[in-house]
């Protein structure tokens, strides 16, 4: 990987356990399935048109553009996912398929480097004319990410050359110079992509362009207003900008003045990701303090317990602090991935386990919920409470799906999950100045070199279902390095042994540091007790008042109708109820469930009465939130009333 703190994906193997199974599903099913979807070969799914559009733009076939302005980006994210897959699990057929696709893309690219099939095929006269709405630079950013990923995975420069030419065109077009456009994209993405490109190519001006885009954003005169006047618009903004105006795009005022997250959640997270990258690279366009301020605001006032962000269906936006309604959650899968992207980058800035806690929360809950167990259907919106009849009925829930679907007209999320799960190794481990830090516990191995000694760190665990993580060092000779292990914030009593001897934990910012000369065969055993916890939200979260979420380890649970009957809101959990967890091998692919004695309030007769309704004792069964809606349609809820 191009991030200086990242290990190349090829050095990380995620081989067994829960996440490995999800990653395998992505390799074996999701990536091939999405290729079919992008080629419009999935019956009953919304048409993608992605490959078709490039073939038409390349002159390989006749036809018309299909889809939205940003349709190309679905394909770009898939190329990125497929490239990560090649990095970890070479596959000649897939590589050849990618080569053919890249050849088509190369043919589709215009002479001056421009690449965007919508504008090439539909509105060639309006190139760069509506940066506010049309996602042109966003699409370019995803292609740049794809080009960089493909280069790292295969060593081939075929796509890197294409996207560098595109970046050069953008660099020539935008900026403060004479004849340049002082604009930036309505949907951030190009910024973080340019930083990746700069790191991969060592061409500093790509980073400088990212700095320019971020510094320019929201400054007066506002570019989006200038641009709208040029288009002859009357000042009326699109509906999704209701209430926030240009703050929907983080462009109402300079980025430097932001103190709370604003606007469209994915955009905000992608902007912050680029800002953290710049802070890491020592740019003066932003600061670590400012990044930390925004990250803290997001994670302490705007985060769902599932790690999702974005609470407003209209415009997919951040709302008021602590306004986290479960039924109208937007919590888009892409936004959850954005949370992971920022968390991972915050770990680059500073090794604080709290950042990894948020990353893990988003991964195991909001993000994994986006993908069905069979890898063929997806969620875009991830609410924390669904009553199907109500969700289908109420307009403010009209984007909530009560079942995952095969594809979307706006299909940003499915390939985003694919690229995330195909590059999990980059989130699990980082390179530190003197060794390795482990953030996520996955069954597999990481290879690295410690003072010229090649080392393999083998990790054996059934996390998150089991509490034990075993790490074994193998090398041909002793190796000196620091192994830093995250002690998860959810774990009250972690326990660590080194070669069987208890090791006193003196964690720094939540990481225990084992700095020593390791001998081949050295073993570290980390036990992370995972009792069932009742999680309470801050009392300012009105939607969770008097309720608890059940959590075990990093996994947040929910109750589903299939296990607990309808009218889940009638369930309550006595404070005294004992909750037990156990692994059920044949449920939902094998998972730990939580059971306990709960209370159900019966229907009392009158709609409103003065006698408390009778209650009956019932068995409560909770399953991991990420695995909900894999057994047909029904009610689901995360927050359970305490009684």
Binding site for a copy of itself (CB under 8 A): 242-243, 299-301, 303, 305, 312-315, 319-320, 323, 328, 387, 389-390, 392-396, 398, 490, 492, 533-542, 545-546, 549, 567, 569-570, 572, 600-613, 641, 643
Q: Which is nearer to a copy of itself, 226 or 603 (CB)?
A: 603
Alpha carbon distance 275, 252 (integer Å) = 17
Q: With b meaning 16 or more CB within 10 Å and e meaning fewer, what string describes 74-92?
A: bbbbbbbbbbbbbbbbeee
Question: Least Å distance between CB 63 and a copy of itself?
Answer: 26
Strand bridging mode 435-438 / 479-486:
parallel
Alpha carbon distance 138, 125 (integer Å) = 19
Please compute, for residue 415, the number of CA atoms within 13 A of its CA located in the half-sphere on the CB side: 28
Alpha carbon distance 343, 335 (integer Å) = 12
The H or E element that residue 421 is part of is: helix 413-422
Q: Which is nearer to a copy of itself, 366 or 377 (CB)?
A: 366
Alpha carbon distance 317, 33 (integer Å) = 30
CB 491 within 8 Å of CB 466: no
| Cα torsion through 281, 285, 289, 291, rounded to 10 | -80
Question: Least Å distance between CB 556 and a copy of itself?
Answer: 9
Our answer to whether residue 621 is catalytic in this structure is no
3-state secondary structure of 57: helix
Q: Which is nearer to a copy of itself, 230 or 242 (CB)?
A: 242
CB 241 within 8 Å of CB 315: yes
The H or E element that residue 444 is part of is: strand 443-450
Question: Least Å distance between CB 240 and a copy of itself?
Answer: 10
Our answer to whether residue 316 is catalytic in this structure is yes
Q: In terms of Cα–Cα distance, which of 135, 433, 126 is closest to 270?
A: 135
Task: Spell out the residues 6+ positions from residue 1 whose beta carbon is closer than 8 angstroms to its own.
Answer: 7, 8, 9, 152, 423, 426
Q: Which is nearer to a copy of itself, 200 or 387 (CB)?
A: 387
Q: In terms of Cα–Cα distance, which of 637, 486, 493, 496 is closest to 558?
A: 637
Alpha carbon distance 639, 329 (integer Å) = 13
The DSSP string of 125-168 is GGTTS-HHHH-HHHHHHHHHHHHHHHHHHH---HHHHHHHHHHH
Alpha carbon distance 143, 162 (integer Å) = 9
CB 526 within 8 Å of CB 469: yes
Q: Which is nearer to a copy of itself, 417 or 573 (CB)?
A: 573
Q: In terms of Cα–Cα distance, which of 594, 589, 590, 611 is closest to 602?
A: 611
Q: Which of 316, 385, 467, 533 is catalytic?
A: 316
Tokens encoding 462: 């059934």
Question: Least Å distance between CB 417 and a copy of itself?
Answer: 24
Q: Which is nearer to a copy of itself, 210 or 303 (CB)?
A: 303
CB 557 within 8 Å of CB 622: yes
Q: Which is nearer to a copy of itself, 426 or 533 (CB)?
A: 533
Strand bridging mode 468-475 / 511-518:
unpaired
Question: Least Å distance between CB 341 and a copy of itself?
Answer: 20
Question: Least Å distance between CB 643 and a copy of itself?
Answer: 7
Question: Least Å distance between CB 554 and a copy of itself?
Answer: 12
Question: Least Å distance between CB 36 and a copy of itself?
Answer: 33
Q: Which is nearer to a copy of itself, 395 or 477 (CB)?
A: 395
Q: Which is nearer to a copy of itself, 534 or 631 (CB)?
A: 534
Question: Least Å distance between CB 392 and a copy of itself?
Answer: 8
Task: Spell out the residues 6+ positions from residue 10 whose beta carbon is closer than 8 angstroms to its own.
Answer: 87, 88, 153
Question: Least Å distance between CB 516 and a copy of itself?
Answer: 33
Residue with tokens 């002859």: 232
Alpha carbon distance 163, 331 (integer Å) = 31
Question: Least Å distance between CB 335 and a copy of itself?
Answer: 17
Alpha carbon distance 361, 354 (integer Å) = 10
Q: Which is nearer to a copy of itself, 409 or 521 (CB)?
A: 409
Q: In terms of Cα–Cα distance, which of 181, 67, 158 is closest to 109?
A: 158
Q: Which is nearer to a copy of itself, 47 or 398 (CB)?
A: 398
Q: Which of 412, 413, 491, 621 is catalytic?
A: 412
Catalytic residues: 316, 412
């Amino acid at each position: 990987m191009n991030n200086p703190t990242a290990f190349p994906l090829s050095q990380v193997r995620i081989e067994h356990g829960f996440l490995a199974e999800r990653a395998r599903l992505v390799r074996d099913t999701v990536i091939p399935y999405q290729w079919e979807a992008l080629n419009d070969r999935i019956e009953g799914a919304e048409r993608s048109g992605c490959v078709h559009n490039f073939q038409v733009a390349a002159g390989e076939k006749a036809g018309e553009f299909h889809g939205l302005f940003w349709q190309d980006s679905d394909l770009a994210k898939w190329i990125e996912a497929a490239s990560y897959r090649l990095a970890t699990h070479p596959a000649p057929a897939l590589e050849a398929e990618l080569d053919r696709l890249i050849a088509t893309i190369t043919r589709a690219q215009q002479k001056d480097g421009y690449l965007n099939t919508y504008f090439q095929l539909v509105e060639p006269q309006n190139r760069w004319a509506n940066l506010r709405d049309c996602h042109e630079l966003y699409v370019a950013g995803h292609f740049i990410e794809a080009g960089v990923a493909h280069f790292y995975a295969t060593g081939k420069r075929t796509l890197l050359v294409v996207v560098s030419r595109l970046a050069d065109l953008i660099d020539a077009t935008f900026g403060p110079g004479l004849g340049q456009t002082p604009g930036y994209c309505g949907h951030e993405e190009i910024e973080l992509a340019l930083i990746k490109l700069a790191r991969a190519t060592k061409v500093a001006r790509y980073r400088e362009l990212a700095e320019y885009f971020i510094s320019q954003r929201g400054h007066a005169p506002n570019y989006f207003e200038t641009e709208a006047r040029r288009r002859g618009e009357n000042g009326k903004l699109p509906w999704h900008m209701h209430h926030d105006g240009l703050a929907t795009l983080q462009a109402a005022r300079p980025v430097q003045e932001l103190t709370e997250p604003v606007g469209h959640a994915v955009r905000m997270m992608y902007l912050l990701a680029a800002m953290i990258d710049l802070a890491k690279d020592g740019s003066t366009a932003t600061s670590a303090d400012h990044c930390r301020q925004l990250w803290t605001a997001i994670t302490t006032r705007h985060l769902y317990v599932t790690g999702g962000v974005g609470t407003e269906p209209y415009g997919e936006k951040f709302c008021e602090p602590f306004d986290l309604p479960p039924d109208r959650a937007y919590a888009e899968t892409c936004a959850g991935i954005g949370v992971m992207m920022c968390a991972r980058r915050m770990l680059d800035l500073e090794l604080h386990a709290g950042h990894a806690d948020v990353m893990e929360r988003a991964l195991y809950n909001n993000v994994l919920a986006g993908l069905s167990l069979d890898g063929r259907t997806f969620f875009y919106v991830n609410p924390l409470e669904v009553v199907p009849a109500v969700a289908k009925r109420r307009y403010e829930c009209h984007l909530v799906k009560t079942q995952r679907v095969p594809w979307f007209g706006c299909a940003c999320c499915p390939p985003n999950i694919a690229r995330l799960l195909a590059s999990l190794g980059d989130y699990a481990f980082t390179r530190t100045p003197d060794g390795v830090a482990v953030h996520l516990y996955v069954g597999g191995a990481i290879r690295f070199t410690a003072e010229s000694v090649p080392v393999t760190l083998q990790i054996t665990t059934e996390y998150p279902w089991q509490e034990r993580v075993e790490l074994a060092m193998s090398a041909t000779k002793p190796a000196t390095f620091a192994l830093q292990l995250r002690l998860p914030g959810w774990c009250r009593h972690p326990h660590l042994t080194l070669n069987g001897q208890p090791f006193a934990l003196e964690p720094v910012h939540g990481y225990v540091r084992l700095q020593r000369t390791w001998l081949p065969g050295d073993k570290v055993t980390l036990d992370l007790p995972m009792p069932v916890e009742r999680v309470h939200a801050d009392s300012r979260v009105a939607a969770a008042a008097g309720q608890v979420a059940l959590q075990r380890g990093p996994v947040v649970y929910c109750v589903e109708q299939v296990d607990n009957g309808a009218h889940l809101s009638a369930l309550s959990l006595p404070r005294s109820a004992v909750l037990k967890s156990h692994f059920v091998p044949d449920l939902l692919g094998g998972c730990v469930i939580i059971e306990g004695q709960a209370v159900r309030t019966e229907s009392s007769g009158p709609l409103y009465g003065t006698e408390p309704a009778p209650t009956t004792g019932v068995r409560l069964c909770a399953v991991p939130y990420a695995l909900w809606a894999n057994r047909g349609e029904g009610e689901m809820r995360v927050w359970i009333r305490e009684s």
